[in-house]
């Protein structure tokens, strides 16, 4: 059961086909990756604090320090602009990446098989926005980590262990 995002949050840049054949798969990806990406973002202990705070309402965090990183923001700093579309959008873009990169291959009784459609041709990864979405989600990921590191009085440094993520490409 997803905690932070729903299938209905996949719209716009993270739009995917949503029908009786795809919603269960997409839900499985949400269930698998939403907590994992937040643990990478915050570290396991700070994530637990975030999850406990979020569970109070089940819709939004209540603690101002978590509201700050949950919501979209744009902050100036000496090195430029730190911009986040918010945790919900960040998660939907990361999960979109995970979901779509696995779509060309499905496992069946004969083993891994390429999906083949009678009336269409599969797009190559370079013809999709899969890598662009992942890299754009990193802008929010890095901005949120910057907020945490730039506000040591608000976030417990002993609990923060956010992991570094890098841009991806085919090259």
* Paired tokens of 24: 């269960």
**What span, in angstroms and rounded, lies between the C-alpha atoms of 117 and 114?**
10
The mean pLDDT value of the chain amounts to: 86
- In whole angstroms, what is the distance from residue 158 CA to residue 31 CA? 28
* Domain assignment of residue 170, yes or no: no
**pLDDT band at residue 12 using 50, 70 and 90 as cut-offs:** confident
Q: CA 116 to CA 32: how far, in whole Å? A: 26
pLDDT level of residue 128 (50, 70, 90 thresholds): low
List, in sequence order, every beta strand (DSSP E) within 7-150: 73-77, 80-84, 105-108, 111-114
155 lies in some domain: no
- Assess if residue 146 is contained within a domain: yes
Distance CA 21, CA 25 (A): 8
Q: Does the pLDDT of residue 23 top 80, yes or no?
A: no
Tell me if 21 is assigned to some domain. Answer: yes
Higher pLDDT among residues 152 and 44, named by residue: 44
Q: Considering the domain boundaries, does residue 65 fall inside one? A: yes
In a domain, 159, yes or no: no
4 within some domain? no
Q: What is the pLDDT of residues 46-100, one digit of tens each?
A: 999 999 999 999 999 999 999 999 999 999 998 899 999 999 999 999 999 998 8
Number of structural domains (the chain) is 1
The whole domain housing 74 covers 10-150
In a domain, 31, yes or no: yes
At residue 123, does pLDDT exceed 90? no
Q: What is the pLDDT of residue 111?
A: 57
Q: Which helix (H) or strand (E) holds 28?
A: helix 23-42
């Amino acid at each position: 059961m997803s905690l932070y995002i729903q299938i209905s949050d996949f719209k716009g840049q993270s739009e995917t086909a949503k029908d009786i054949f795809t919603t269960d798969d997409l839900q499985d990806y949400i269930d698998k990756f939403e907590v994992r990406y937040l643990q990478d973002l915050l570290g396991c202990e700070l994530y637990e604090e975030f999850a406990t705070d979020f569970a109070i309402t089940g819709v939004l965090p209540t603690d101002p320090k978590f509201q700050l990183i949950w919501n979209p923001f744009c902050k100036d700093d000496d090195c430029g602009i730190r911009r986040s579309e918010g945790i919900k959008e960040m998660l939907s873009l990361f999960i979109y990446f995970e979901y779509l990169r696995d779509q060309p291959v499905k496992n069946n009784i004969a083993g891994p098989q390429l999906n083949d459609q009678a009336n269409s041709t599969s797009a190559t990864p370079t013809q999709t926005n899969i890598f662009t979405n992942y890299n754009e989600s990193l802008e929010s990921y890095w901005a949120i980590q910057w907020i945490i590191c730039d506000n040591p009085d608000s976030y417990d440094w002993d609990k923060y262990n956010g992991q570094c993520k890098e841009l991806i490409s085919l090259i």
